[in-house]
Amino acid sequence: MSEIKVPAMGESITEGTISRWHVKEGDAVSQGDVLLELETDKVNLEISAEESGVLEKIVRQEGETVEIGESVGLIGSGAGVSPAAPSANTEAASALADVSSPSVPSKGDDKQLGSSSAAVVPPPSDSSQKASPSARKLARERGIDLGEVQGKDPIGRIYQDDVKAHTSGTAPAVQPPASAAPAKPAAAAQPEGGYGKPVERQRMSRRRATIAKRLVEAQHTAAMLTTFNEVDMTAILEVRKRRKDKFKEKHDVGLGFMSFFTKAVVGALKQFPMVNAEIDGEEVVLKKFYDIGIAVSAKEGLVVPIVRDADRLGFAEIEKSIAELASKARSNTLALSDLQGGTFTITNGGVFGSLLSTPILNTPQVGILGMHKIQIRPVAIDAERMENRPMMYIALSYDHRIIDGSEAVRFLVTVKELLEDPESLLLEG
């Protein structure tokens, strides 16, 4: 008998939440098989079997928080049962359902059950094992047999929303005899949440809860202030128009805006090193390296992977790094090393259409640059002329405890000047 233990995941991570078990008690597993998924505040990790055998016991269930080194299950020797193999009880329950139930599976049921035209109704005990802890709890509270609940999960797992849908009458259910009076759905009789109208409750993911906590901590800890400016993007757009095809052909990556902004930020940080620092107690730690965080919107919330040593990278290397990190973020395959550290952050709300915003610090960093939508606006060229120019508002949020207002303003002006003269960025390396 061997224990399935939560592995070490990095210095900053001490616990996680079991988001999903891929196997159930009694299943045979082989060395290397994925047993469960663990959700942390930074990344999701898969825990695999270190040896072959049978999953004898699941010690910690889905939704439970576990610590590093804690045992979550036991693997013993034996043949076990293949997860895909139907049991005799399942076949018996299917036959019983065919006899006792007058209802016929709908087309939607056929899609969920696969290509087979006959519905297989699992016994209550099996359904209970395939239900999440929150679903089992809600079913007990409402007196619902989980065997009657139709789930949407392709592998047959039942979640809390499935139980709610069954209660409200939106899920398929066995029709009562014609002589019986129709029962009124329980959810319709009792409005949820005390609002008198329908509501839906969703559990925060661990990452979303951590993001919320850190954003509040940043506002409570730092003396955060934001200064604004605007950039005439004409020169950058012209450079991209002239160079993008050859750049793509040579480097196999597109020439985007982020490489220009990363280069401009590095150039400004070299002139204003306090913006590249952090506070440690009563000391200021001045960082002599430039690891730039690029905020990426992923399914479970914002993540900030790091472009390492950005001052040593060319435009193509920066674009490739950002593209790779963004792809890993959206496929949930970022490693802890991709997220740890960082000296300054860039966030681009413009991709979603934001015209102006005040970004929140990514602590312990003391500065973050916000990019926004490029908007054509009339601009005074001189006292006599007006032209329509592609303009972008930029925002610098900073920690006023160690960065003076004049320093922050000059930093942002430097970023603006470098962007409006993109050739100068080649000289800042």
Q: Which pLDDT belongs to residue 227? A: 97
Q: Rounded distance, CA 347 to CA 360, Å?
A: 10
Residues paired with residue 20 on neighbouring β-strands, in sequence order: 37
> What per-residue confidence (pLDDT) applies to 238?
94
Helices marked H in 50-116: 88-100, 107-113
Instruction: Give the Cα separation of 304 and 295 in Å (integer).
Output: 4
Per-residue pLDDT tens digits for 156-209: 667 777 788 887 765 444 444 444 444 444 444 445 556 678 988 888 877 778
3-state secondary structure of 179: coil
- Name the residue with higher pLDDT: 217 or 160: 217
Contacts of 417 (CB under 8 A, 6+ apart): 424
Structure tokens at 327: 């792809």
Q: Judge whether 392 and 231 are in contact, CB under 8 Å.
A: yes
Buried b (16+ CB within 10 A) or exposed e, 248-280: eeeeebebbbbbbbbbbbbbbbeebebbbbbbe
| Residue of higher predicted confidence among 7 and 262 | 262
Q: Quick one: average pLDDT of 421-428?
A: 78
Please tell me the predicted confidence (pLDDT) of residue 169. Answer: 64
Please spell the DSSP secondary structure of 27-51, one letter per residue.
BEE-TT-EEEEEE-SS-EEEEE-SS
Residue 231 confidence (pLDDT): 97
Q: What is the DSSP letter of 425?
A: G
CA torsion angle for 328, 332, 337, 339 (degrees, to 10)? 90
Q: What is the pLDDT of residue 397?
A: 97
State the pairing for strand pair 344-348/292-294: parallel
pLDDT confidence bin for 413, thresholds 50/70/90: very high
In 3-state terms, what secondary structure has residue 162? helix
The reported pLDDT for the residue numbered 100 is: 37
Give the model's confidence band at 39: pLDDT under 50 very low, under 70 low, under 90 confident, else very high.
Answer: confident
Provide the pLDDT for residue 170: 53
pLDDT digits (tens, 9 = 90+) for 131-159: 665 677 677 778 888 888 887 665 566 77
Checking if the pLDDT of 68 tops 60, the result is: yes
- How would residue 81 be classed by pLDDT, with cut points 50, 70 and 90? low
Percent of the chain with pLDDT over 90: 42
What is the number of other CB atoms lying within 10 angstroms of the CB of residue 101?
13
Assess whether pLDDT exceeds 90 at residue 419.
yes
Residue predicted with more confidence, 212 or 323: 323
Indicate which residues carry an active-site annotation.
400, 404
Interval 361-396: pLDDT, tens? 999 999 999 999 999 999 999 999 999 999 999 999
| pLDDT tens, residue by residue, 118-134 | 333 333 444 444 666 56
156 Rama class: left (phi>0) / alpha (psi -120 to 50) / beta: left
Taking every pair of C-alpha atoms in the chain, what is the biggest distance, in angstroms? Answer: 89
Average pLDDT over all residues of the chain: 80
Tens of pLDDT along 298-335?
A: 777 788 999 999 999 999 999 999 999 999 888 888 88
Query: What integer is the mean pLDDT of 90-96?
Result: 41
Q: Write down the pLDDT at residue 124.
A: 41
Give the residue, 188 or 54, on which the prediction is more confident: 54
pLDDT score for 143? 81
pLDDT above 70: percentage of residues in the chain: 76
